[in-house]
Amino acid sequence: MKMKFKSSVNSARISVIRPCKQNIIYRNTTYIGRGPVTNIRRVLICRPSKKLGDLLLMTPLLQEVTATYPRCKIDLFVKGNLAPEIFRNYNNIEQIIQLPKKPFTQPFRYLKSWMLIRQRDYDLAINVDKKSSLGRLSVKFAHSRFKFFGNSLSESIAQIYFDFKHAAKAPVYDFRFAITEDNIFDLTDRVPYLDLKLDLSELSNGRRILSKIVPEEKKVISLFTYGDKCHSSEWWEEFYEKIRLNFFDYTVIEILPFANVSKIGFKAMTFYSHDIREMGSVIANTSVFIGADSGIMHLASAARVPVIGLFNLTDPLKYGPYNSNSMPIETSDNNVDDIIEILETILLYRLQKK
């Protein structure tokens, strides 16, 4: 009986939303609004995703919108329960509207979330991911003077510059293109980095936690070996041994996933936490982070530590780590020794900066 109820609710939800999605996908809904995009006081940003990486990749756009309209208040339309923790220190955010992870188990909460974006009048509504039909639908559904659907940027311009493809940069470039007079903007202006906005107390707490794990205040290399796009246990074990032999003055610590498993058989010291911000604060106190493309890799980027992102399935031009001194590496083109050399270069460069 319970399964029949869930199935009925889900079927009803799909029957209502699917036609709307198709309407949004195939209509030319690049930009709606009249006149210059000014006097923006209330903004809705839509990224209905529950994934840690997707939410962290929004942070450059949040910084860009806030820098452009410093007095604005921002509402977020997302999915799941991670957003309040991720965006805790973003002072311009006023309300986070959260779709439940599994809509058919909480149909009334699901509908309530949609109605919340109709209850306010916005000056600007932005869809972060142009390929998200649910994001487009939420912008369409909102009351707003201006609506950006995520595809203001012409394909011809986007193809000229390789970094327009990056998931953190594309929404910022699209936003700049949409609000700038004559659709011209300065390409030399750097897109803001991912930023978890860890405060001093959080960084201090991360340092205290790390000091209890790592002896003698040694410098630390952090690894994350888990994930859907990760490498085999054999690959990671070889890589770990070469790090240990080549960087004997560093301690290696493995950041464990929520599943509490290790691809190197728990050979290194470990850190485990269900608290995303606490995990970020610990990583922020390490010298470098190494891990496959994952939400935790983007968390390390947002914690402002140099990141080596390992790619063998996903596109590094779209999902590579984005902050200072970070780089993606395609492991099909680089063996373990190549990565060790790159790691040495990053560590030496960071020491020189200090």
Note whether 26-183 and 200-353 share their fold: yes
- Say yes or no to pLDDT of 250 above 90: yes
pLDDT digits (tens, 9 = 90+) for 257-276: 888 889 999 999 999 999 99
pLDDT of 340: 94
Q: Does residue 184 surpass a pLDDT of 70?
A: no
Transcribe 29-61 into DSSP letters.
-SEE--S-S----EEEEE-----HHHHHTTHHH
| Cα–Cα distance list, 183 to 84, 119, 124, 178, 272 (Å) | 34, 31, 17, 6, 47
CA gap 231, 225 in Å, rounded: 8
Instruction: Dump pLDDT digits (tens) for 103-150.
Output: 778 888 889 999 999 999 999 999 999 899 999 999 999 999 999 998
What value does the mean pLDDT of the chain take?
Answer: 86
Higher pLDDT, 76 or 182: 76
**pLDDT recorded at residue 216:** 72
CA distance 299 to 222: 13
Lowest mean pLDDT, pick from 21-25, 156-160, 162-166: 21-25
Q: Domain coordinates of the chain in residue numbers?
A: 26-183, 200-353
The reported pTM is: 0.87
* pLDDT tens-digit readout, 115-126: 999 999 999 999
Residue 298 has pLDDT above 90, yes or no: yes
Considering Cα of 125, then 128, then 134, then 136, what sign does the dihedral take? positive
Task: Report d(CA 56, CA 50) in Å as an integer.
Answer: 11
The arithmetic mean of pLDDT across residues 79-86, rounded, is 96
Q: Is the pLDDT confidence value at 204 over 70?
A: yes
Q: Is the pLDDT of residue 28 over 80?
A: no
Q: Are 59 and 169 in contact (CB under 8 A)?
A: no
Handedness of CA 271, 277, 280, 281 (dihedral sign): negative
The fraction of the chain above a pLDDT of 90, given in percent, is 64
**Distance (Å, whole) CA 69 – CA 142:** 20
**CATH level 3 topology of 200-353:** Rossmann fold (3.40.50)
pLDDT of 29 strictly over 50 = no
| Statement: residue 338 has pLDDT above 80 | yes
pLDDT confidence of residue 3: 47
* CATH class name, domain 26-183: alpha beta
Supply the pLDDT for residue 332. 83
Residue 30 has what pLDDT? Answer: 55
Task: Assess whether pLDDT exceeds 90 at residue 237.
Answer: yes
11-14: which pairs have CB atoms within 8 A and are 24 or more residues apart? 13/103, 13/104, 13/107, 13/110
**Taking 90 as the threshold, does the pLDDT of residue 157 lie above it?**
no
